[in-house]
A and B are shown apart, each in its own frame.
Chain A
Amino acid sequence: MKLDDIITILEGRVLTRTGTNDLEIQSCGSADLMSDVLAFQTEESGLLLTGLTNQQVIRTAEMANINAIVFVRGKIPPQSTIDLAEELSIPLISCFHSMYKASGLLYNAGLPDNGVVSIPCR
């Protein structure tokens, strides 16, 4: 799914000068725990929905092949976060939906989930 379509679905706003560059997004995950993001992201180019806005979100994206980030509940990251994202060419988007609703809208539109982890048996 094109990032531009995702922005339309979420009624989002692009926060970075890095354009959306016709980016193709293959899967998506929602998390506020960065270690979860690092664990679940696969090889494909992924989207992250999160409520966290610090610089570590961008570093996490850099390490884990996340190509774009959506901040939910209308959150706007500090300038330092935006600067780092621009340096790494990662587009940032803000939308007013909750994480639950934003995830649901994208899932309904056919954007696949990006990771399944089985529950370990005791």
Chain B
Amino acid sequence: MPVINSKNGKETDQLTRVQELVYELRVDEVMTADVRTVSPDTTMAELMAIMRINRISGLPVVEQDEMVGIVSLEDLVKAVADGHPEDSVRNRMSRKIVSVRADERAVQAVKLFAQHGFGRLPVLDSAGKLVGILTGSDITRGLLRSLSTRYHAEEMRRYRASHIFEDIDSEETSLVLRYHVAGRDFNQGGQASSKLKRALERLGANPPLLRRVSVSAYEAEMNLIIHTSNGGELRAEISPHRITLITEDDGPGISDVEAVFQPGYTTAPDWVRELGFGAGMGLTNVKRFSDEAFIESHPGSGTRLTAIFNVPPPGGDGGSDDDQ
């Protein structure tokens, strides 16, 4: 059975992914490579037929393999309105060409569209040769395509991870995740818990359980950082019905293991308190958010904190929460 009934990523994550994509997509990934061109000697009336048949609203004008201009529906409308449909494209096209390079980011093209109000941009390779044409809808289509590919890849990873306990046949399957935590390194604090949280998310932990384990792991990780100089290990043993969180160190140990679970009991130095921790609430939080928590320690021989979380059956509400 899956450990997890998964609730998918937040909407903000999706939006951020779209933003990232716009910056990652290259022009040649989204442009139309099969580009239709016209010769400058084409008449505007002939151009009208080409546009209608191909359902396009603008084309690069090419003479002897070189782009000399660009002609759009707007130029055509003007020619007809002026009563000169027999005029050549040469006399009606725009010679001021704004183009993008094939290896540029699509976001560069988005900027140019906004800046100049053009509907399309010719795409040139590094030698200045016309290799494609790009419109706003090319970019939108490329984004959607790329987004759906990624979405499926992430769905697949999530699916595989959340079914690991079903797919592997044994009498009892558990997954152990280990993270080393460096002592006294306050800035790195939380990295292990952050990785653990992401792993549990992928395994499909439901949000209340995910938060209870993450908060407890984070408090336990901060304890390693604050109280030991060599750091220690943060370990999570995940099985279909329970998650066991263990931190272990070879630090100074605790003389009174009863007292440390009392709210407000602290031996943290002042510098830790200035950083927003060390008020004697860490272990209180671990106890509060876990189903069972205990400490084994002897002064001088290190400390082991164990917190156990029962995994609710799929569809459950995540188990006990704020119990007060």
Contacts and interface: CB of A to CB of B under 8 A. Distances in A.
A33 B281 contact: yes
A76 B209 CA distance: 33
A120 B264 CA distance: 13
B190 interface: yes
B12 A59 contact: no
Contact of B276 (A19, A23, A34, A117): A34
Q: Which of A33, A63, A64 has the most CB of B within 10 A?
A: A63
Interface stretch (B49-57, B164-172, B210-218, B253-261): B210-218
A56 B190 contact: yes
Given A23-B12, A62-B194, A89-B16, A35 B189 contact: no
A36 B194 contact: no
A89 B13 contact: yes
Contact of A64 (B186, B194, B215, B322): B215
Interface string B173-194: 0000000000000110110011
A67 B219 contact: no
A24 B143 CA distance: 25
A38 B275 contact: no
A118 interface: yes
A32 interface: yes
B227 to A, nearest CB: 15
B22 to A, nearest CB: 12
A55 B190 CA distance: 9
Interface in A69-115: 80, 89, 115
Interface size class of A (residues with CB under 8 A): 20 to 34
Given A38-B285, A57-B276, A63 B214 contact: yes
A36 B13 contact: no
A21 B279 contact: no
A33 B276 contact: yes
A33 B19 CA distance: 33
Contacts of A54: 186-187, 275-276
A56 B215 contact: no
B277 interface: yes
Nearest to A39: B285
A65 interface: yes
A80 B218 contact: no
B197 A62 contact: yes
B15 interface: yes
A43 B207 contact: yes
A52 interface: yes
A39 B281 CA distance: 9
B189 A56 contact: yes
Contacts of B211: 41, 43, 63-65
Interface in A11-31: 18-19, 21, 23
A21 B186 CA distance: 31
Contact of A56 (B19, B207, B276, B288): B276
Interface of B: 11-13, 15-16, 19, 186-187, 189-190, 193-194, 197, 207-208, 211, 214-215, 217-219, 222, 263, 275-277, 279, 281-282, 284-285, 288, 322, 324
Given A35-B277, A39-B281, 19 more contacts: A19-B19, A21-B11, A23-B12, A32-B276, A35-B285, A36-B279, A38-B215, A39-B215, A39-B284, A43-B208, A52-B275, A54-B275, A55-B190, A56-B189, A56-B276, A60-B218, A63-B190, A63-B215, A63-B218
26 contacts: A19-B15, A21-B11, A33-B281, A35-B277, A35-B281, A35-B282, A38-B285, A39-B215, A39-B281, A39-B285, A43-B211, A52-B275, A54-B187, A54-B276, A55-B190, A56-B276, A56-B277, A59-B193, A59-B194, A60-B218, A63-B190, A63-B193, A63-B197, A63-B214, A65-B211, A89-B12
